[in-house]
Chain A
Amino acid sequence: MIEFRDVGKRFADGTVGLEELSLTAREGEITVLVGPSGCGKTTSLRTVNRMVEPTSGSVHLDGRDVADVDPPELRRGIGYVIQQAGLFPHRRVIDNVATVPVLQGLSRQEAKKRAAEVLERVGLSALAQRWPAQLSGGQQQRVGVARALAGDAPVLLMDEPFSAVDPVVRVELQDELLRLQAELGKTILFVTHDIDEAIRLGDRVAVLRVGGRLAQFAPPDELLAAPVDEFVSGFVGRDRGYRRLGFVSATALRLVDLPTRADANGDSPDSPDRAVPGEWTVLLDGTERPSAWLGPDGARHDLGSLYVTDGADAASDAAGTLRGALDAALSSPAGRGVAVDGGGRYRGGVEPDDVLALLDRGTTR
């Protein structure tokens, strides 16, 4: 259990990071701190492991004032995961994970054994011998989580751990955290600025406003159903709209035909030449994959982001997400987005009006 008792932090330059935060993160639960950037989330998290010393109030871990514990000792008993993973670039994955057990006094060999167990648990055994630079962003974050678990700490602090990875991987990481949590039952204090993430992960969610002032602290459904004030409803509502599009399938979206033409740089003489003079034309390479827009000016333009229908092949017509469709429609220089199938092959065009019509039909609420 983590207890904040009237915790305040005024930095040396006079900035108020926190004023009087009182909050209890319950044992075995995920407590999420969510709020706009600069509202004091990171500061509050760091008062727990004494990376930041409060200027007033106190933080208690299982009833014990953390100010009474030697900071390095304290930190070895608290897992900590940050946004850029903070892996040690000069240590292989397994040695990164073994760091905490070594600091806790285990022999190098025992520590490695422990690290191997943890890697196994999070399904990363295959990466044990890699250097951090050889991992994708998502893999780095997972190693960061493994390292935090390796010390067997009952408490985890996570500071926007999944914010730097793309939305698809982020959802995977969130699912994995929930799975691990179901097995391990840690006391987790999780910081994010993403209300969707907060709602997916949190047993209880604390919405903070600037100054680290608690606006509302409640289970997610309560937060959504009964926001206490304008700030909370604004925060819960504003971000949710667009983000949630990422989970909504654009089932009813119709694809339109676009003028296409074989890309002169490509090698497909037999691609049907359907260029329309004076119109935006999609250039297709030899494998039917869009390579660029050909503008009415005859110049090549970036495609913008593509709308990926979920189908693995052209025959499948499963829909992609509404957010993908919206991004494609709005980012294309041609005023219409390009749709491709799961294999990256051209499927058709996306009209912004069609996407907006779908949004209007209330699909997103």
Chain B
Amino acid sequence: MRAFGYDIDQLVIAHVLLAIIPVILGMIIALPLGWWAHRSRGARRVLVPLSGALYTIPSLALIVFIPVVLGTPILSPVNVGLTLTIYTVALLVRSVAEALDAVPASVSLAALAVGYRPAGLLLGVQLPLAVPVLTAGLRVASVSSFSLVTVGALVGIESLGTLMTDGFQQDYTAMVVTGIVGSIALAFIFDALWLGLGRALTPWSRARAGV
């Protein structure tokens, strides 16, 4: 589909990839960090404020700063991807720690008592039980990522944000609105996806007495 002189499909695909890959990478990085913060009070005292502080760095600053540090080309999508990954990690470290905290101690204790080793306890009991809180964190990170991806357009990284920046320059309202509505719609679609995934993984959480 073409509109406003752009291949919209391509913008949508770029937008989705640029928003989602960092969310997934961020989750993969946040899991061990969050687990560490859950296990050790010392680690938590450092990791949680640090990740909170990371989130306060303006996105544009990160996007232009990363090429300076890493030597990536200034127009590389990697700069945006990395920025969003950092934000996702910043949001999720605390989420993961709290999700693991929320697993009832009696259940973890029972798991150890029947003979789980630490890895089995984490994978077989704690993580599955953490899914509801993890999903909530993931949804926030995902919505945030879909919105922040548009900032990349300011430095020429293509996404639906490009319609906003270019539309603004050309004083073309319909183009700006298309960009905004499109990116919001994508954020909603993926939000629904995470919600559905979370529910599919936790049939037990909806079980109530007498059902």
Contact = CB atoms under 8 A, between A and B. Distances in A.
A41 interface: no
B207 A80 contact: no
B204 A86 contact: no
Interface in A74-117: 74-76, 80, 82, 84-91, 99-100, 103-104
Most buried by B among A73, A88, A151: A88
B115 A87 contact: no
Tell which of A84, A90, A136, A147 has the most Cβ of chain B within 10 Å. Answer: A90
Interface stretch (B39-47, B104-112, B151-159): B104-112
Given A90-B128, A90-B202, A134-B211, A100 B115 contact: yes
Given A76-B114, A103-B115, A86 B210 contact: no
Given A80-B110, A87-B110, A88-B107, A134 B209 contact: yes
Q: Which residue among A73, A86, A103, A131 has the maximum number of chain B CB atoms within 10 Å of its CB?
A: A86
A133 B202 contact: no
A82 B129 contact: no
B36 interface: no
A97 to B, nearest CB: 11
B113 A84 contact: no
Given A131-B207, A134-B207, A134-B209, A86 B202 contact: no
A75 to B, nearest CB: 4
B125 interface: yes
A167 interface: no
Contacts of A88: 107, 110-111, 125, 129
Interface residues of A, number: 30
A49 interface: yes
Given A88-B111, A90-B202, A72 B117 contact: yes
Contacts of B129: 88-90
A86 B116 CA distance: 14
A59 to B, nearest CB: 15
Given A89-B129, A90-B202, A100 B208 contact: no
A85 B106 CA distance: 8
A82 B110 contact: yes
Contact of B204 (A76, A80, A85, A131): A131
Nearest to A144: B110
B113 A73 contact: no
A78 to B, nearest CB: 8
Among B107, B109, B115, B209, chain A packs the most CB atoms within 10 A around the CB of B115
A51 interface: yes
Tier of interface size on chain B: 20 to 34
Contacts of B111: 88
Given A82-B110, A133-B209, A136-B209, A89 B204 contact: yes
Interface in A160-213: none
Interface string B47-68: 0000000000000000000000
Given A88-B125, A89-B107, A90-B128, A99 B207 contact: no
B211 to A, nearest CB: 6
22 contacts: A49-B113, A72-B116, A72-B117, A75-B114, A76-B114, A76-B115, A82-B109, A82-B110, A84-B106, A87-B107, A88-B111, A89-B205, A90-B128, A99-B114, A131-B203, A132-B204, A133-B209, A134-B207, A134-B210, A134-B211, A135-B209, A151-B114
B207 A86 contact: no
A75 B207 contact: no
A151 B115 CA distance: 11
Contact of A100 (B114, B125, B204): B114
B131 to A, nearest CB: 8
A51 B207 contact: no
Contacts of B211: 134
